[in-house]
Amino acid sequence: MKNQKCKGMQDLLPGDMLRFRRIEDTFRTCCRSWGYQEARTPTLEYLYLFTATGTLTPGMLSKVYSFLDWDGWSGERVVLRPDGTIPVARLYIDNLSGQESARLSYVTNIFAFEGTGKKNRERWQCGAEFFGGAKFAPDVEIILLAEDVIRKLGIKNVRLQLSHAGLVKALLREFKLSPAEEAKITDRILEGDWETLTRAKSTHPEMERLMAALLGLKGKSSSFLRNVKASFPTASQDFKSSLEDFLSIATLLDNMDCSYEVDIATMHGFEYYTGICFQFVAGGEKIGGGGRYDRLVPLMNGGDVPACGFALYVDPMMRLLPPEKKKGKSGILVKGKELTPEIVKTCFTVAQFLRDAGYLAEIDFAGRAESDYEWVISVSGKKPSRLVLKDCLKKRRREVTSVAEILEVVGEG
Amino acid sequence: MKDHQAGYIKFALPKGRFLSPTASLIAEVDLRFEGYGDKTKQYRLRSARFSSLVAKILREKDIPIEVAVGNYDLGICGSDWIEEYLVKYPAGALMKIASLNYGEGDIHVVGSAQGGITSLNELSARQNDCRVVSEYPNLSEAFALNLRMRRFRIFPVWGAAEVYPPENADLAVLWGRSRAHIAAQGLIPLDKLFPVTAYLVANRESLENKDLSQILMCFDSKLGAGPRTSMEHELVICKELKIPCPLWSAKEINLALPDGHQQAPAAQFLEQAGLTLQGYSEEVVSRRPCVDLDWLGIKVIRPQDMPLQVANGNFDLAITGEDWLREHLCRFPSSPVKKLFGLGFGTVKIVAAVSRDMPVNNIDELRSLVQSGKFAPLKVASEYINIADRYLQDNRINPYKLIPTWGASEAFLPEDADMLVDNTQTGKTLEQHKLRILDVLFQSSACLIANKDSLASSNKKEKIKFLTQKLRAGLKQIENQNAKGKNTK
């Protein structure tokens, strides 16, 4: 029987890993320079972290990989981490909650079942979370940090779309639905079904006008939100205060010359968002998203700590990454004329000497193409000159007698 | 699917609760499976009307899985087992074709009159951990997730879910004939999930690629009928139900006793050990027998469920089989359950067996056969899924697939599985099914198991000691009697 990888899982080949590491390295460098410290959470977490209202939606929960661990006789189920933010919030509560604020970043895999097996069930993401801090500024900071990473990676034609969870929830409350109906519609919206909102009958005629403005129009600046505010003076207090919050962030982004689109329907996926929500779209794919989640830490018994964060999705970004400029020949190939114990030993000694001196040295056992390397060192059993150094760029050969001499020539080259 | 059955249409028929109405239906639609009825003793049937139609009688719980994996094209089973499968594997290959409009009762979520939960709203608001016991663990989990229960634990059981609340569970998800039937057991019906109706089900791939039309046409009059609606009036509300409060109070020591085959020998043993029980004999069955020790609480549950229940501290002691203890410890090696001593009755052998047609005599030959690519992956049916898994790994059988069953694994061979790991008392059943024992994994008898923490507890250890000494003395007495009997002979 042929070996097969598990359905929905992916192998990352050397070429993929080069792209993966470019994203990861760029992300880590940016995060460090913005003052975010890297953290890592375990792959297994308890299921109950994700089950309470305000964490993951029932739709997402139905796709988690949950099971009983080897010591799961108590019935406590564990999950393969289905989300990056909730475990980091747990890490913050367990270890860092004494700090007034914490900026944390992480590169992690998350697991979610996908029925067809054609899409990945294991996905990678680079995330950053800001715990504590005042409003508006952290929201803008995480958006600008995410943008910085995307810009440095060279991904073009990226659209930033903004929504606001508080605004959507206030809008829903205007429908005066029963709590059960409201919860049901919220779940549908979070799963991307905005039609459900237009199907829900409003008791107030003003609602239809409001819905048309918010769902039908896509603003490109804070002016749009100001227009909405001016057009609906009778909206509820909840709606107005959420709109005010949205407006403050949009105005700050305008001041920072950050272009965006206000699209209320871009809020989906996570129940824990309470304020601004955003997503980045490129090449028709969502490459990242985030927002403010002020209720999550209190819900997890971590005290009244506001928070916001984002995650960039590595898998679609790998597809959109511009090709790296092709590097010329590099490295040194050390090859033996024959595979005798003496020659192999010399090959290892020479290669290690070069590595210790900071060069990339590879030993050839399988006939690698010499043209891929800058230098090739041939080791033979002959004495006294057992080493031949070939300069693949200048097409020159030279016999050398010691590794020190190799270093001298390579250094000059 | 085996080659020798290629071209056949395979039908999975239920035994148990739906056997009788399904037999009537099969007669009504004229599929002519001779011998399918209450007195049937065979597993395999052939239609006298359609030469290409064969059937096998399976446990209802097994039918959704067997149809989904493609071992059967069609099947009939209850909506409870279908939903239990579909809620976990919605993208699986199990398709509901039509409700057959017979069945009884509903799947209910119940609490206990003494458990302090009287409505669903209380459940979602509840901050504490909620223990849910059920034969339907997937449905229970989906229910808890949909209700946004903050923290819950699901305890799958083989049966008798109704006896667990309030001491050993906060909720149970179980079948009930009616709300009144549930209330009569001292339980509060909190939610009704769906009515239990028999359904005709099919494998998706068979529907797409195989001509099943002649068989489906026989069910013509049944297709398109809506599902059975609950006969009970929906407006009956909880408050109107008279829920008797069972006489129950917390006890210092809790003992679990087995139902089923082990009940009679266990009752006899306890009687000989001088433990006088009321409600635990063959004639009178009570889930909560009474005993003349006021500190001892007793419940009758399935022996399969005991190790897990003892591990969780719901019981301090239990009489179960060594097979079920080993099954539990294979799954949870660090579980705080230990065997105190064997009781000498209910002895069975746990064996690995294959069809006599398979050209192997021992596990080493089987390994070579699987390695050669024949029977790869080896399909192994077992009710001891963790013992079987460990056995196959220890013997380097690779690759293999496990098919969980609910007993009677012999029915799966040779069409639906290549090997079984199951218990046998005399080996006669295996012989009747033309099976060959390849290996005896171990011998199992009834034993007394205990929770390690209870044994160490200063509040409990004296009373446990008293009880175990009593049982040990009884055991000694029986052994002496047996020895005398032998000598006399």
Q: Which residues contact A307 (CB under 8 A, 6 or more apart)?
A: A89, A129, A130, A131, A132, A292, A293, A294, A296, A297
Among A258, A288, A320, give the residue marking a domain's end: A320
Q: Which of B120, B123, B145 to mutate to test the interface with A (most CBs of A within 10 A)?
A: B145
The yes-or-no verdict on residue A268 having pLDDT over 80 is no
Give yes or no: residues A161 and A87 share one domain: yes
CB B225 within 8 A of CB B198: no
pLDDT of residue A82: 95
In this predicted model, which residue has the larger pLDDT, A233 or A64?
A: A64
The yes-or-no verdict on residue B487 having pLDDT over 80 is no
Share of chain A above pLDDT 70, in %: 95
Share of chain A above pLDDT 90, in %: 53
- Domain contains A350: yes
Give yes or no: residues A187 and A267 share one domain: yes
Q: Using CA atoms, how far apart are residues B331 and B308, in angstroms rounded to an integer?
A: 10
Q: Which of A74, A86, A119 to mutate to test the interface with B (most CBs of B within 10 A)?
A: A74
- Residue B376, both tokens: 């790869």
- Residue A250, both tokens: 């949009």
Give yes or no: residues A346 and A296 share one domain: no
Give per-residue pLDDT as tens, A215-244.
777 888 889 888 888 887 778 899 899 999
Give yes or no: residues A290 and A194 share one domain: yes
Give yes or no: residues A98 and A167 share one domain: yes
Query: 10 Å Cβ neighbour count for A130?
Result: 25
Give per-residue pLDDT as tens, A311-363.
999 999 999 999 887 766 778 999 988 888 888 888 999 999 999 999 999 99
A77 Cβ under 8 Å from any chain B Cβ: yes
CB A357 within 8 A of CB A374: no
CATH of domain B349-443: 3.40.190.10
Contacts of A78 in chain B (CB under 8 A): none
- Per-window interface: B 323-362 vs A, CB < 8 A: 328, 331-336
- Domain contains A199: yes
Give per-residue pLDDT as tens, B20-63.
999 999 998 899 898 888 777 778 899 999 999 999 999 999 99
pLDDT of residue A205: 66
Residue among B150, B154, B376 whose CB faces A52 most closely: B150
Domain hosting residue A172, numbered range: 14-320
Q: Which of A71, A73, A299 to mutate to test the interface with B (most CBs of B within 10 A)?
A: A73
Residue B299, H or E segment? strand B296-301
Among A286, A320, A354, give the residue marking a domain's end: A320
Q: For residues A152-189, b (16+ Cβ closer than 10 Å) or e, as one string?
A: ebebeebebbbbbbbbbbbbbebbebeeeebbebbbbb
B144 Cβ under 8 Å from any chain A Cβ: yes
Query: 10 Å Cβ neighbour count for B37?
Result: 14
> A75–B151: do the CB atoms touch at under 8 Å?
no
Report domain extents, chain B. Answer: 3-102+197-218, 106-195, 253-346+446-488, 349-443
CATH of domain B253-346+446-488: 3.40.190.10
Share of chain B above pLDDT 70, in %: 92
A187 Cβ under 8 Å from any chain B Cβ: no
> A62–B373: do the CB atoms touch at under 8 Å?
no
The yes-or-no verdict on residue A276 having pLDDT over 90 is yes
Report the domain count for chain A.
2
> B153–A116: do the CB atoms touch at under 8 Å?
no
pLDDT of residue B3: 43
How large is the average pLDDT for residues B118-135? 83
- Residue B405, both tokens: 């069953």
Find the range with the poorest average confidence among B133-142, B302-311, B411-420: B411-420
Q: Hey, which of A223-237, B105-119, B349-363 has the most confident mean pLDDT? A: B349-363
pLDDT of residue A271: 80
CATH code, A229: 3.30.930.10
pLDDT of residue B39: 73
> A51–B142: do the CB atoms touch at under 8 Å?
no
How large is the average pLDDT for residues A366-392? 83
Which chain B residue's Cα is nearest to A301? B127
Q: Chain A to chain B, count of Cβ pairs less than 8 Å apart?
A: 62
Give yes or no: residues A217 and A126 share one domain: yes
Contacts of B141 in chain A (CB under 8 A): 66
Residue among B149, B328, B399 whose CB faces A1 most closely: B399
Find the range with the poorest average confidence among A4-13, A21-30, A140-149, B443-452: A4-13
A209: left (phi over 0), alpha (psi -120 to 50) or beta: alpha
Q: Hey, which of A98-102, A125-129, B179-183, B257-261 has the most confident mean pLDDT? A: A125-129
The yes-or-no verdict on residue B262 having pLDDT over 80 is yes
- What is this structure's pTM? 0.84
Q: Using CA atoms, how far apart are residues B262 and B273, in angstroms rounded to an integer?
A: 16
In this predicted model, which residue has the larger pLDDT, B162 or B240?
A: B162
CATH code, A345: 3.40.50.800
Give yes or no: residues A29 and A152 share one domain: yes
Find the range with the poorest average confidence among A66-80, A122-136, A261-275: A261-275
Give yes or no: residues A342 and A218 share one domain: no
pLDDT of residue A4: 83
For residue B235, name the pLDDT band (cuts at 50, 70, 90): very low
- Domain contains A108: yes
pLDDT of residue B67: 95
- Domain contains A173: yes
Burial of A264 by CB count in 10 Å (0-12 exposed, 13-18 middle, 19+ buried)?
buried
- Domain contains A209: yes
- Residue B177, both tokens: 């004939």
Fold of B106-195: D-Maltodextrin-Binding Protein; domain 2 (3.40.190)
Q: Let me know if the fold of B3-102+197-218 is the same as that of B106-195.
A: yes
Residue with tokens 């290959």, as numbered in its chain: B93
Domain B3-102+197-218 homologous superfamily, CATH: Periplasmic binding protein-like II (3.40.190.10)
